[in-house]
Structure formats: C-alpha cells, structure tokens
C-alpha cells in the first residue's frame, strides 16, 4: 500500500564518482521514477527536444524565473544559464510520483536550502585513488583538469556529512539497490504519512 | 561494503497490530540481527533460560539497575519488574551488530528519550476495524478487555507521528521487506558514516 506523497531524490557527489551512471541505471530499473529536467538558455543541439532534454528558455525568460523564485537553484556556465525549475517538481510530487535530480555539490547545497524535504544522497568514490583512476580512465581530460577535479573532490567529500545519506559507489548495481532501499524507506517516514495515520486513527466503524 | 555501526531498531505499535509476528519473521529472514532480551524479576517458567528468554534478576538487583540508569526503560506489571538493559545493546552495536527491540508504545517513548539514535518504527493496523477483527480472531480476550484494547489503540495510533517511520502491516511478508529496507537505508545515513567519509577524504596517496 502506497502511504505517502512522492519524494524528490537528489543525487550528488564529486565529478567522477559515477553518479550519472547510477542515475541512468536507477531510472532503467525503476521507470516509475521521473527525472528532473533542467532549464537552460543555451541553444538546443541537434536532436535535443524542449521538455525532454532541457526546457530551452530565452535569457530574459530565465532571468524572470530567477526573479520570481521559480528555480530551485541556478548557475551561469560559460555565459549560459542552467537551473532546476520548481513547478514541474511540485506537480509530479503532488501526483505521488518520485522525482530524481542529479546535480553537482554546489547545486545540491542550494536545493537543500530551498527544498529541505528532499532526500539528499551523496555518492562517494571508494577512495581518492580510485577516483583518480576513474577520471584518468575516461581519457578525455587534460592533466591540469584532472588535478583540479581531484583537489575539488577531496574538499567536496567532506560535504557528504551535510547530506542525509552517503553511499560508496563500489558497484553500480549495489549502489542502485541501496538508493532504491533509501527511497522505499523514505516513503515510510511518518512525517510523509500523517494523512493516513489520521485516517486510521479515525477509521472505527467505517 | 558495510559503512556504519549497528542500529537499534525499535518496533512498536498497539496490541494486535502483529508486531510480534513481524519481529519473528524479520529475525528468521535476517539471522544477523540480534534480539534485545528483557530483564525481569519474575521467576523463570519451565524451559526458560537466563540470557535467552530473559535476564532473570532479583528484585534488589533490578532496583539497583534502575538507580544506576542501566535500563533503557522499565515498568512494573502485576508486581514484577520488566526492563531493557542498556549494556548488552551498547556491546552489540559497537560490534557492528543491529539489534531489534520489540516494545509497547509506552516503553518506546521512554527509549526515544534515552536513546534517540535508535530507529523507531510504528506498526499500524490497516484500520481500527481490521484491528478489532484480529483481536477477536485470537479468541483469547474477554469482551471488556477487547474494548479496552481498541480504545487504547485509537489513542496510541496518533503516537505514530512521534516515530521516524510508520508502516501499515497489511501482509507480514511486505512489512518485513519494508523494515529490512528501512534498516538498510539507515546504515547509509551520513551521520552513521562520518568515520568512513573522513577516511575517504584523506585517502589520497595511500
């Protein structure tokens, strides 16, 4: 029996921990979970669809959204805005759907402030050495970029204590199972079940 | 990878919700979970063993335990003391073992005060009507006792909001799965993983 409203699951962690792979695998295994789509002012690339890959917005529209507090968080990257619109999240949650937001640690901290009822999960690498191996293994990053990421990661890992949950990503399959267990458990948090608790306590004689 | 220390799982709820059956089924399926054994001043019945069914104590010893704060909670029932000794719980938790405590709602509220780091799960009946059916179904209770239990239950159910989790016990199997998911999730609470988070953030060059 489904007892509670939907949860916003925020998955975050340093670059290279594999959080993207974990999110894709989670969505593949649990298609009932919705994915939070970002808004951006950058132009669509070939094949990208509005409302699927991103919500594509004009700069003035995006700035209005910022002004009106319609974004859970936003950032400017190389002259383009990126952000998380709140309205589609609220809509899905009140329809009882869970929604997954994958975001960097800076963004997650902002979401924590604006939406503390979210479920915040920090994905950890097994060690910084292993993180270095994974980043080098991609073969796409220059040496100075690798060093920068690793230094950032060492600092970011301490942020894990600000999250409710911390999961070491040793195997994607295990991490997905753990995130699914966290999500299941969160649905049974009594603060999310007050309506049904009330209903049961008054159920006599129905 | 096991990231954290053990959890004290406290399972509680009104009489008749099936919390005892849930606990037995949980322990059968997860023999790695230890069971919290109560201390009592009542005499052992035939076949009961000290340290297995109860810790059997003399009245003066039990009263000393109360004085010394060695009990998480205690109560006097028909002239005998019953209580939950803290020392064996602390021992098992620091050895990394989870420990299950099944207790009535009065006792659970006392444990919450003394041991807020426990995981408190309230077992709900699907409805008060269903609870009445279950209590009557046992065929062991007199009419006035049934009425007393049902009145108590209606009040107790509101206490569910004080617990972290509330689970409707519709099927024992499902409830056991939910409790197991809650326990798994709790092991990944970052507050329980501070040691390993520290270790990883300093792991470079090892």
According to the 3-state scheme, what is the secondary structure of chain B? Answer: CCCCCCCEEEEECCCCCCHHHHHHHHHHHCCCCEECCCEECCCCCCCCCECCCEEECCHHHHHHHHHCCCEEEEEEECCEEEEEEHHHHHHHHHCCCCEEEECCHHHHHHHHHHCCCCEEEEEECCCHHHHHHHHHHHCCCCHHHHHHHHHHHHHHHHHHHHCCEEEECCCHHHHHHHHHHHHHHHHCEHHHCHHHHHHHHCCCCC
A66 inside 8 A of chain B by CB: no
- Closest-CA distance, A40 to chain B, in angstroms, reads 32
**Interhelix angle for B143-157 vs A194-201, to 10°?**
160
**pLDDT for res B149:** 87
Q: According to DSSP H, which parts of chain A are helical?
A: 19-29, 59-67, 86-94, 105-114, 128-138, 143-157, 172-187, 194-201
Are A19 and A84 found together in one domain?
A: no
Q: Both A18 and A105 in a single domain?
A: yes
Domain residues for the domain of B117 are: 1-33+98-206
Contact B158 A185 (CB under 8 A): no
Helix (H, G, I), strand (E, B) or coil at A7: coil
Same domain, B137 and B194: yes
Residue B3: the pLDDT is: 57
- Please report the pLDDT score of residue A1 as a whole number: 47
Residue B10 has pLDDT above 60, yes or no: yes
Q: Where are the alpha helices (DSSP H) in A102-166?
A: 105-114, 128-138, 143-157
Contact yes or no for B201 and A165 at CB 8 A:
no
> Are A16 and A70 in a shared domain?
no
Q: Give contacts of B 14-33 with A, CB under 8 A.
A: none
- B93 and B103 together in one domain: no
User: Residue B139: which pLDDT band, with cuts at 50, 70 and 90?
Assistant: confident
Do B77 and B15 fall into the same domain? no
Question: B84: domain CATH number?
Answer: 3.30.63.10
The whole-number average pLDDT for the span B56-63 is 97
Greatest C-alpha distance within chain B: 71
- Among B81, B97, B113, the domain-final residue is B97
What does the pLDDT look like over A65-98, one tens digit per residue?
Answer: 999 999 999 999 999 999 999 999 999 999 999 9
Interface contact B1-A170, CB threshold 8 A:
yes
Say yes or no for a CB contact (<8 Å) between A161 and B185.
Answer: no
Return d(Cα A8, Cα B55) in angstroms, integer. Answer: 45
Which is nearest to A111 in space by CA: A9, A16, A15, A40?
Answer: A9
Instruction: Name beta bridge partners: B101.
Output: B10
Question: Helices (H) and strands (E) in chain A — how many of each?
Answer: 8, 9
> Would you tell me which residues 106-145 of chain B have a C-beta closer than 8 angstroms to some C-beta of chain A?
121-122, 124-129, 132
Does A205 have pLDDT greater than 60? no
Mean pLDDT of chain B: 93
Q: Residues 182..201 of B with a Cβ closer than 8 Å to A: which?
A: 182, 184-186, 188-191, 193-194, 196-197, 200-201
Per-residue pLDDT tens digits for A125-136? 999 999 999 888
pLDDT at B204 over 70: no
pLDDT-wise least confident of A185-189, B1-5, B45-49, B93-97: B1-5
Domain edge (last residue) among A72, A97, A122: A97
CATH of the domain at B25: 3.40.50.300
Q: Are residues B49 and B137 in the same domain?
A: no
ipTM of the complex: 0.90
Confidence of residue A206 (pLDDT cuts 50, 70, 90): very low
Are A62 and A138 in the same domain?
A: no
Question: CB A204 to CB B154 under 8 A?
Answer: yes
CB B39 within 8 A of CB B71: yes
How many structural domains compose chain A? Answer: 2
Residues B126 and B85 in one domain: no
* pLDDT tens, position by position, B15-33: 889 999 999 999 999 999 9
Domain closes at, from B97, B117, B137: B97
pLDDT of B205 above 60:
no
């Amino acid at each position: 029996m489904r007892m509670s409203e939907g949860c916003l699951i925020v998955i975050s962690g340093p670059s290279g921990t594999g959080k993207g792979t974990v999110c894709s695998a989670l969505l593949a295994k649990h298609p009932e979970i919705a994915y939070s789509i970002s808004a951006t002012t950058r132009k669509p690339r070939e094949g990208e669809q509005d409302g699927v890959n991103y919500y594509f917005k004009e700069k003035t529209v995006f700035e209005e959204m910022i002004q009106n507090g319609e974004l859970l968080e936003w950032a400017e990257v190389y002259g383009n805005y990126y952000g998380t619109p709140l309205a589609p999240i609220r809509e899905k949650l009140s329809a009882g759907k869970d929604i997954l937001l994958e975001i960097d640690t800076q963004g997650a901290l902002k979401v924590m402030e604006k939406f503390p009822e979210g479920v915040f999960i920090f994905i950890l690498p097994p060690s910084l050495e292993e993180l270095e191996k994974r980043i080098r293994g991609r073969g796409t990053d220059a040496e100075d970029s690798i060093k920068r990421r690793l230094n950032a990661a060492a600092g970011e890992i301490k942020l894990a204590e600000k999250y409710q949950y911390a999961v070491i990503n040793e195997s994607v399959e295990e991490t997905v199972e753990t995130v699914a267990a966290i999500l299941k458990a969160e649905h049974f948090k009594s603060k999310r079940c007050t309506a049904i608790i009330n209903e049961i306590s008054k159920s006599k004689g129905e």
